[in-house]
C-alpha cells in the first residue's frame, strides 16, 4: 500500500516550487487583508458607541445575508465585531485560492501531460494526488500560522489567544475542505475547466444554503460547510466542533478522491466522454462560432449562476425591507407612509451593495474570454486558424466582442433578476424598487465592467504576462467598495477601481458625464489592445 | 524559368530579443515542385514557416507568396494556402470531424466526397473528441483538412513524425498527386529518406542560415561517392588525389574508399589501368550530405 504513495514528499516539494509565486501572492493578499484590518479595527470600532451602532446594522437581514448570522453578547467587544465582519468574507477568498491551486495541481498538470511523464517514473499511483493534498495542507497551515501570530499582535478589545487560533485554524480547515473538494471534482471531470466549473457550482450551492439559512434560521446553517466558520464564534464562546467537522470532511473528500483516482485511467475522467459529431453543424463555421461552441457552457453557466445568486438575494427582500422586524413601534409612531418609505430606502441601500457585487462577478466571464485569446495562442490552437484567411483584427474583435457581450448579458440578467424577484417577494409592492431604479442600477455600474474588460484587452495586446494583475485589481477594487463602509475606508481608497468611479446606484443617480468618459475609456483601452495585438508576434508553444 | 516562383524569400532575418533565430534565409519554391526544407531541431525551420504564415514578423529581408507580402497580405495569401503544423494542437472538446469541417469552411471550402475518402484512407475516427487523439491522429486531422482543400501552395512542417508507415505512404502519394496538378509544396522534415524520395529541390538550414540549395543531383556533385573496387594488379589507392578514407577490403586488391566528385574521372582512369574485376559505386545519400554539412563545416 505504501508504494502507492512513493515519492509523495518529493512531488510535494516540486508542487510548492512550481506554485511558489502564486502561493506567495495569495498569502500576501490574505494575510495583508486580515492583519491589516485587525490593526485598523480599534480605530474604527473602539468605543462602545461605535460598537452599538454597527451591532444593529450587523443584525439587519441585509447584513446577515451578506456577512452571516452571528451571536453577540449584550456588549460585544471590538474583536467580536471584527470576526463577524471578516470571517465569511475571508473564508471565501481563501477557498478561491484553494480551488485554483487544487485544480491546477491535479487536472491541470494532467491536461498538460506532465502527470503522464511523472507517473512513468518510480512514483506511486496516488503520489500526485497526495502531493496536491499535502500542498494545500501546507499552504493553509502557513496562512493559519501567520493569521494566528499576526492577530496576537493586535490590541483589539476582547481579543483572546484561543480566539485568534480558533479563527486562524477554522478558516484554514474550512478552506482546505473546499480545496479537497476541488481534488475530488478533478477526478470526476476530464479536463480542468469542467473541474473548476463543477467545484464553483458546489461552492456556490454551499454559499446559497448559508445565506438562506442565515436569514431564515441560523440553526440550519450547520448544513452548509461554509456556514461552519460562523459557528466558531471565536471571541465569544470558542467552539472547536466546526473545525473538527471541516477536517473530517477534508479527510473523507480525500479518501473519495483517492478511491476514484485508483479506479480511473490516466487522462480520463470518471464521467465518460461520449463520441461526438462526425461532421460539424452548419452553425460552426468561423472563429466566433468556434469560441461559442467551446465556451458556451461556461458563458451560460455564468449567466445562470449569477441569476440564481441574484434570485436568492432577491428572495430575502421581504425580510430586508421590513423595518417592523427591527423596530416594531415604528408604524405607531410615524404612520404607514413613512414606514414604507423607510422600507424602500432600506431596499435601495441593500441593492446598491449587491450591484457592486454583481458588477465585479459579471466582469469575470468577459475578462476570462479576452484572456482566452492569449491562452489559446500559447496552447497552439490559433496556429491552425491563422493559417486560414483570417485577420488578426477579425479574431481579436471576435473574442473581445464575445467577452463584452457575455459580461453585459450576465450583468443585465443578474440585476433584473435581483430586483424583479425581490419586488415579487414583497408583501407591500409599494416598498419595492421602481423600473427607473432598475435601469439606474444597470447604467451605474455597467461602465466599470467595460473598463475592466478594456484593461484586460490592452494587457493581451501588449504585455500578456501581467494579466494576473487585472484580477488583483478587480479583487481589491471590489473589497474596498464592498467592505469600504464597514471598514470606514477613506474616500480615495474607494475611488481606486472603476467600480468606485461613479456614485453607488440605485441609491444615487447615474452621473452621465462619468458614464460617457468611462465608456470612451474602455473603447480606447480596447483599441490600444487591438493596436498591440495586430502587430505583435504570436507566442507559440 | 519564366514563371514567377510561388514563394520567394530574400535574406530573411528574425531576432527574438538578442537571439537571432534566422540570420540569412534565401530560397524560392516554384509551381509544380516539391521543395524539401531540412535541418536539425532548432535550426530555424519552424520559425521560417511562422514568418511565412504571418504569425511572427520578420526583422529583416522579405518574403512573398504569390507575389504578396507574407505579413501585410496574409489573409489574401491564406485563401490559396494550406498548412499542416509540426505539432498539431486541436480544441480538446471538438471532434476530429468537426475540426476538419471548420477548417475547410474557414477557407470557403466544404466537406466533400474527397474529405470522406481521405478520412477512410488515413483511417481516422472523426467522431472522437480531439482530447483523446494520439499525436498521429491529430496530424491526420490537419492533413485531411489540408488535402481536401484546393490550394495552390501547401506547407507541411514535419507532417509525418507521428504517422505509421502505412499513413506515411498515403501522405507521399497525396503529395505526389499535388505535384502532378502543378501545385507548389514546401516540405520541412528531418526524415531524410522521405525528402530524398519526394523532393525535387532541397534547402539545408543550419543555425538560421541556408547553407545549400539545389537538386539532390546537384548536391551530390559537392560531395563524395563511395567506391568498392577489386583490382587484378596491386595499386595503393591512398596515393591517388581526391581519395579519402581508403581501407583495404577482405580480398586481395580490394579497396573501399570515397572520392570527391571532381576527382572521379582521374581516379576511374587509374583504376582501369589495373584491370577492374568488380566495382560498386554508391552515390551519397541525403543522409551523407547532411552529415557532411553538419560535421565537417561545423567549425
pLDDT digits (tens, 9 = 90+) for A85-103: 899 999 999 999 999 999 9
For residue A72, the model assigns a pLDDT of 79
Regarding predicted confidence, which is higher, A375 or B223? A375
User: For B39-58, b where at least 16 C-beta lie within 10 A, e where not — what string?
Assistant: beeebbbbbbbbbbbbbbeb
Q: Residue A220: pLDDT above 90?
A: yes
Query: Contact B89/A273, CB-based, under 8 Å?
Result: no
A336 pLDDT band (50/70/90 cuts)?
confident
Q: Which of B75, B126, B142 sits opposite A390 (nearest CB)?
A: B75
Query: Contact A386/B131, CB-based, under 8 Å?
Result: no
Rounded mean pLDDT of A465-483? 91
Copy the grid coordinates of residue A63: 447584513
Query: Contact B98/A277, CB-based, under 8 Å?
Result: yes
Place of cell 438575494: A313
Q: Residue B229: pLDDT above 80?
A: yes
pLDDT digit string (tens) for A384-441? 889 899 999 999 999 999 999 999 999 999 999 999 999 998 888 888 899 999 999 9
Query: Contact B89/A190, CB-based, under 8 Å?
Result: no
Which fold does the domain B224-283 belong to in CATH?
Alpha-Beta Plaits (3.30.70)
Is A288 touching B (CB cutoff 8 A)? no
How close, in Å, is residue A120 to chain B by CA atoms? 17
Contacts for A73 with CB less than 8 Å, ≥ 6 apart? A80, A236
For residue A524, the model assigns a pLDDT of 98
Is B126 touching A (CB cutoff 8 A)? yes
Closest CA to B92 of A360, A321, A295, A369: A295
How close, in Å, is residue B268 to chain A by CA atoms? 52
Q: Is A88 exposed, middle or buried (0-12, 13-18, 19+ CB in 10 A)?
A: buried
For residue A396, the model assigns a pLDDT of 96
How close, in Å, is residue B231 to chain A by CA atoms? 57
Query: Contact B55/A386, CB-based, under 8 Å?
Result: yes
- Note whether A17 and A133 are within 8 A (CB): no
β pairing state of B81-84 and B34-38: unpaired
A1 pLDDT band (50/70/90 cuts)?
low
Place of cell 466599470: A448
Is B119 touching A (CB cutoff 8 A)? no
Is B91 touching A (CB cutoff 8 A)? yes
Please give the Cα distance from A330 to A342 (Å, whole number): 10
For B233-246, give the DSSP string. S---GGGSTTEEEE
* Distances in whole angstroms, Cα of residue A370 to Cα of each of A131, A229, A414: 32, 35, 21
Is B49 touching A (CB cutoff 8 A)? no
Mean model confidence pLDDT for chain B:
89
Q: Residue B272: pLDDT above 70?
A: yes
pLDDT digit string (tens) for A502-529? 988 998 999 999 999 999 999 999 999 9
Closest CA to A236 of A81, A6, A130, A387: A81
Select the residue from B93, B104, B128, B146 to test the A interface by mutation, using most A Cβ atoms within 10 A. Answer: B93
Is A390 touching B (CB cutoff 8 A)? yes
Copy the grid coordinates of residue A342: 423607510
Q: Which of A191, A286, A541 sits opposite B106 (nearest CB)?
A: A286
Rounded mean pLDDT of A194-212? 93
For residue B299, the model assigns a pLDDT of 42
pLDDT digit string (tens) for A142-171? 999 999 999 999 988 899 999 999 999 999
For residue A328, the model assigns a pLDDT of 67
pLDDT digit string (tens) for B8-26? 999 999 999 889 999 999 9
Q: pTM for this one?
A: 0.84
Q: What are phi and psi of B282, to 5 degrees?
A: -115, 120
Regarding predicted confidence, which is higher, B234 or B186? B186
Count the neighbouring beta carbons within 10 Å of the beta carbon of residue B264.
Answer: 16
How close, in Å, is residue A533 to chain B by CA atoms? 11
How close, in Å, is residue B9 to chain A by CA atoms? 18
For residue A209, the model assigns a pLDDT of 94
Domain boundaries B7-215, CATH class: alpha beta
For residue A326, the model assigns a pLDDT of 64
For residue B298, the model assigns a pLDDT of 47
Regarding predicted confidence, which is higher, A468 or A183? A183
pLDDT digit string (tens) for A282-324? 888 889 999 999 899 889 999 999 999 999 899 888 888 877 6
Is B82 touching A (CB cutoff 8 A)? yes
For residue A71, the model assigns a pLDDT of 82
β strands within chain B, DSSP E: 7-16, 19-29, 34-38, 60-65, 68-69, 81-84, 153-157, 184-189, 201-206, 209-215, 224-231, 243-248, 254-260, 276-282
Domain B7-215 and domain B224-283, same fold? Reply is no
- Note whether A344 and A431 are within 8 A (CB): yes
Q: Domains of chain B: which residue ranges? A: 7-215, 224-283
Is B210 touching A (CB cutoff 8 A)? no
Closest CA to A454 of A358, A356, A363: A363
For residue B2, the model assigns a pLDDT of 52
Q: Residue A273: pLDDT above 70?
A: no
Q: Which of B16, B98, B142 sits opposite A284 (nearest CB)?
A: B98
Rounded mean pLDDT of A331-351? 84
Regarding predicted confidence, which is higher, B190 or A442? A442
Select the residue from A111, A266, A280, A385 to test the B interface by mutation, using most B Cβ atoms within 10 A. Answer: A280
Closest CA to A147 of A160, A133, A166: A166
Q: Residue A84: pLDDT above 80?
A: yes
Q: Residue A201: pLDDT above 90?
A: yes
Q: With contacts defined as CB-CB under 8 Å, which chain B residues touch A294? A: 91, 93-94
pLDDT digit string (tens) for A492-503? 888 999 999 998
Q: With contacts defined as CB-CB under 8 Å, which chain A residues touch B151? A: none
Q: Residue B201: pLDDT above 50?
A: yes
How close, in Å, is residue A228 to chain B by CA atoms? 38
B1 pLDDT band (50/70/90 cuts)?
very low
Q: Residue B141: pLDDT above 90?
A: yes
Q: Residue A12: pLDDT above 90?
A: yes
Is A513 touching B (CB cutoff 8 A)? no
Mean model confidence pLDDT for chain A:
91
B77 pLDDT band (50/70/90 cuts)?
very high
Rounded mean pLDDT of A349-367? 94
Q: Which of B79, B87, B102 sits opposite A285 (nearest CB)?
A: B102
Amino acid at each position: 500500500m505504501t508504494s502507492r504513495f512513493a515519492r509523495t514528499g518529493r512531488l510535494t516539494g516540486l508542487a510548492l516550487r512550481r506554485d511558489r509565486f502564486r502561493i506567495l501572492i495569495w498569502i500576501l493578499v490574505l494575510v495583508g487583508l486580515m492583519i491589516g484590518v485587525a490593526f485598523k479595527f480599534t480605530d474604527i470600532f473602539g468605543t462602545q458607541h461605535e460598537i452599538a451602532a454597527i451591532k444593529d446594522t450587523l443584525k439587519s437581514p441585509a447584513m446577515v445575508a451578506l456577512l452571516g448570522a452571528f451571536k453577540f453578547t449584550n456588549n460585544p467587544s471590538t474583536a467580536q465585531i471584527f470576526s463577524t465582519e471578516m470571517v465569511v468574507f475571508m473564508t471565501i477568498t481563501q477557498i478561491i485560492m484553494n480551488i485554483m491551486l487544487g485544480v491546477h495541481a491535479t487536472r491541470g498538470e494532467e491536461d498538460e501531460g506532465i502527470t503522464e511523464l511523472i507517473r512513468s517514473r518510480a512514483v506511486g499511483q496516488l503520489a500526485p494526488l497526495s502531493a496536491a493534498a499535502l500542498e494545500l495542507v501546507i499552504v493553509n497551515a502557513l496562512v493559519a500560522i501567520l493569521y494566528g501570530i499576526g492577530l496576537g499582535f493586535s490590541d483589539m478589545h476582547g481579543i483572546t489567544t484561543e480566539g485568534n487560533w480558533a479563527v486562524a485554524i477554522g478558516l484554514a480547515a474550512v478552506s482546505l475542505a473546499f480545496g479537497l473538494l476541488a481534488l475530488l471534482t478533478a477526478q470526476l471531470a476530464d479536463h480542468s475547466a469542467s473541474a473548476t466549473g463543477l467545484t464553483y457550482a458546489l461552492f456556490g450551492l454551499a454559499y446559497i444554503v448559508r445565506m438562506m439559512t442565515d436569514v431564515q434560521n441560523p440553526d440550519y446553517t450547520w448544513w452548509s460547510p461554509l456556514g461552519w466558520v460562523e459557528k466558531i464564534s471565536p471571541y465569544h464562546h470558542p467552539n472547536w466542533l466546526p473545525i473538527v467537522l471541516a477536517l473530517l470532511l477534508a479527510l473523507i473528500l480525500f479518501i473519495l478522491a483517492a478511491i476514484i483516482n485508483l479506479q480511473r485511467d490516466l487522462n480520463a475522467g470518471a464521467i465518460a466522454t461520449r463520441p461526438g459529431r462526425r461532421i460539424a453543424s452548419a452553425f460552426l463555421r468561423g472563429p466566433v462560432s468556434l469560441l461559442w461552441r467551446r465556451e458556451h457552457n461556461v458563458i451560460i453557466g455564468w449567466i445562470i449562476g449569477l441569476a440564481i445568486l441574484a434570485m436568492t438575494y432577491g428572495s430575502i427582500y421581504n425580510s430586508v425591507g421590513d423595518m417592523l422586524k427591527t423596530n416594531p413601534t415604528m408604524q405607531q409612531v410615524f404612520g404607514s407612509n413613512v414606514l414604507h418609505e423607510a422600507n424602500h430606502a432600506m431596499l435601495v441601500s441593500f441593492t446598491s451593495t449587491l450591484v457592486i457585487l454583481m458588477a465585479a462577478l459579471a466582469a469575470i466571464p468577459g475578462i476570462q474570454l479576452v484572456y482566452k485569446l492569449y491562452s489559446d495562442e500559447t496552447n497552439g490552437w490559433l496556429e491552425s486558424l491563422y493559417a486560414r484567411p483570417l485577420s488578426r483584427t477579425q479574431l481579436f474583435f471576435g473574442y473581445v466582442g464575445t467577452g463584452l457581450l457575455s459580461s453585459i448579458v450576465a450583468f443585465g440578467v443578474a440585476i433584473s433578476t435581483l430586483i424583479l424577484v425581490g419586488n415579487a417577494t414583497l408583501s407591500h409592492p409599494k416598498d419595492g424598487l421602481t423600473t427607473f431604479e432598475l435601469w439606474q442600477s444597470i447604467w451605474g455600474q455597467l461602465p466599470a465592467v467595460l473598463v475592466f474588460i478594456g484593461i484586460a484587452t490592452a494587457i493581451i495586446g501588449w504585455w500578456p504576462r501581467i494579466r494576473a494583475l487585472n484580477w488583483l485589481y478587480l479583487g481589491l477594487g471590489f473589497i474596498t467598495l464592498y467592505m469600504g463602509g464597514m471598514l470606514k475606508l477613506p474616500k480615495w481608497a474607494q475611488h481606486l477601481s472603476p467600480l468606485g468611479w461613479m456614485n453607488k446606484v440605485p441609491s444615487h443617480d447615474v452621473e452621465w458625464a462619468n458614464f460617457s468618459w468611462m465608456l470612451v475609456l474602455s473603447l480606447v483601452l480596447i483599441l490600444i489592445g487591438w493596436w498591440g495585438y495586430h502587430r505583435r508576434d504570436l507566442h507559440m508553444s | 524559368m519564366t514563371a514567377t516562383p510561388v514563394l520567394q524569400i530574400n535574406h530573411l532575418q528574425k531576432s527574438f530579443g538578442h537571439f537571432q533565430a534566422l540570420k540569412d534565409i534565401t530560397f524560392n519554391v516554384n509551381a509544380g515542385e516539391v521543395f524539401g526544407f531540412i535541418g536539425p531541431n532548432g535550426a530555424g525551420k519552424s520559425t521560417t514557416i511562422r514568418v511565412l504564415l504571418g504569425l511572427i514578423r520578420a526583422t529583416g529581408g522579405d518574403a512573398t507568396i504569390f507575389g504578396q507580402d507574407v505579413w501585410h497580405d496574409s489573409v489574401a495569401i491564406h485563401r490559396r494556402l494550406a498548412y499542416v503544423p509540426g505539432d498539431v494542437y486541436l480544441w480538446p472538446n471538438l471532434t476530429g470531424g468537426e475540426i476538419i469541417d471548420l477548417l475547410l469552411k474557414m477557407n470557403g471550402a466544404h466537406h466533400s466526397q474527397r474529405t470522406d475518402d481521405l478520412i477512410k484512407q488515413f483511417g481516422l475516427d472523426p467522431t472522437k473528441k480531439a482530447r483523446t487523439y494520439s499525436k498521429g491522429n491529430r496530424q491526420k486531422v490537419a492533413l485531411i483538412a489540408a488535402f481536401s482543400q484546393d490550394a495552390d501552395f501547401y506547407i507541411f512542417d514535419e507532417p509525418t513524425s507521428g504517422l505509421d508507415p502505412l499513413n506515411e505512404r498515403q501522405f507521399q502519394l497525396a503529395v505526389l498527386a499535388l505535384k502532378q496538378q502543378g501545385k507548389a509544396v514546401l516540405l520541412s522534415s528531418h526524415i531524410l529518406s522521405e525528402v530524398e524520395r519526394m523532393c525535387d529541390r532541397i534547402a539545408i538550414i543550419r543555425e538560421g542560415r541556408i547553407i545549400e540549395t539545389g537538386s539532390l543531383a546537384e548536391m551530390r556533385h559537392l560531395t563524395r561517392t563511395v567506391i568498392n573496387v577489386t583490382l587484378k594488379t596491386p595499386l595503393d589507392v591512398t596515393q591517388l588525389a581526391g581519395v579519402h578514407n581508403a581501407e583495404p577490403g577482405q580480398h586481395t586488391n580490394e579497396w573501399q574508399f570515397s572520392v570527391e566528385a571532381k576527382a572521379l574521372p582521374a581516379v576511374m582512369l587509374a583504376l582501369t589501368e589495373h584491370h577492374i574485376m568488380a566495382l560498386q559505386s554508391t552515390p551519397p545519400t541525403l543522409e551523407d550530405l547532411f552529415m557532411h554539412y553538419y560535421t565537417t563545416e561545423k567549425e
